[in-house]
A and B are shown apart, each in its own frame.
Chain A
Amino acid sequence: MILQPVIHHWRDFNRADRLAGTASVTMMVLILVALLAPLLPLDPPDQVAAHPRLSEPSADLVFGSDNLGRNMLSRVLQGARITILLSAIAVLLASVAGVAIGLIAAYSGKALDEIISRFSDIVFSFPAVLMGLLITAIVGPGEFAAICAIILVTLPPIVRVVRAAAMEVTGTDYVTIAWLSGASPARLLLVNVLPNISVPVVTQVAYSISIGMLVESALSFLGLGPQPPAASLGSLLREGSVYITVAPWLVFGPAIFLVIAIWSTNLIGEGLRVFFDPVRARCLEE
């Protein structure tokens, strides 16, 4: 019963962009499977010698087993859980910070705006991996470093999108009129600006999650993310790459999961953009 409105909105969304509708269902399934993996009837991901070493994929062992005889499916699901969780947490923090900073930049004008914009340009100009290396050099490798790197990579675009959208809305008549009737800056921003920039912000956040997963995987691939025995999709890829000539399935499992997850998130982001597009809304109106 609670799902009724969710399904209703999903139907509209699916009708606007069927690919994105499918992608949203796929992503939902991936997240559920990754989160509920401990409850599924699978071998524990760290159980060594549960199966013969480097066994090929079969009906029981969908992704085969690794060099220590661990079930790759369990490992991929555990790795996916870490990858998705880390990027979700990081992007959540980045969006809260990005919305606040972007609104302040748009509202304060001139000097502060200039400082914020230039600073975010500078941060944005560093390649993601370089940024990750810099941070691990300071805080040491691990989950915290990964989160920091994702935040620093996804924050500048969010700030930019929020600032641009907020500036456009600040110039509209209804904000002028609210200002005229004596509204405080907080009221102007929270009541009149924030709800009307939600569309570009939500879209940008969806893109940020896919960037987050990519950055996390890249860092883990370089061994700078979560440390063993914890594994994320990136570190599984690195471990598997050693055996790529003899047991290519070690790479296929995590790679397929990562590709599907990132592709789906991008499609959802694109779908959200189309779904909220004012031109499309006008077509429906008429």
Chain B
Amino acid sequence: MANLKEMATRESRLTGGHRLCSGCGAPVVVKQILAGTKKPVVVGAATGCLEVGTTIYPYTAWKTPFIHSAFENSAATMSGVETAYRAMKKKGAIEEDVKFVVFAGDGGSYDIGFQSLSGAMERGHNLVYVVYDNEAYMNTGVQRSSSTPLGAATTTSPAGKKMAAKSRPKKDLTSIMVAHNIPYVAQVSPSHWSDTVRKAEKAFEQDGPAFINAMSPCPLGWPHEADQTIELAKLAVDTCYWPLFEVENGEWRLTYKPKKKRPLTDWLELQGRFKHLFKPENKHIIDQLQASVDQKWEALLDKTGRK
């Protein structure tokens, strides 16, 4: 894998001057993923913060071919692009070895784009699908998604007098993607850049679909101080809330094991969306969250042979 110095000498494919919030995690994810290939890459995006923030007409922050068509169809749209590429390649109409990557939020992937993502993965298109998972619909102003964790407050799952925010647990999209029997599935965090770049490299070199789920802290929606984005991504990993692993051709591998597993509250307490959980009457929710993290972590250690 290239080192940072070498990566930094390459031209950025996503420029500054985009209109994403100060401290947004998404462009950091994009930078690290795109560092995973030196080849020409076509980027697709679902409607969402990243797309809106980077392509306000007549400006584009993309220095690479970019396509957005709608919210729920980024995987299908890129299926068409990738298929066109194969048709052109076959006829000798294009010479370059081109890579294809989609960036979509949790809304565009866990929810409204779930079907199109599943279809594209099942059909075996040669593309990398990356979720920047900020755990709610941030572009429309922080509404709950199926990726929003239990107990998190959003504008459609507020912490009210009768209900303490979201009552359902987070969907495990990464495992669902593993169940598609595609060549490569991984979870990454922008805090662990070398792990992310290495996984992106693997994903780009697969012959077939690859799926990467990236934790993407959101200063607006979680909310947290803008300078804490990377720290929160790190804590998500160190609390084992967001473990770093990969599943290559069905084989599970843990790629990072925290020296000391930190309590989940270390992560929760830095975010406004969990503030109400620290009231005594909501302690059971924190317990539930911690129990879920523990159980999943143990299961992951089992699957990856690291117990």
A and B form one complex: no
Interface residues of B (CB under 8 A from A): none
Interface residues of A (CB under 8 A from B): none
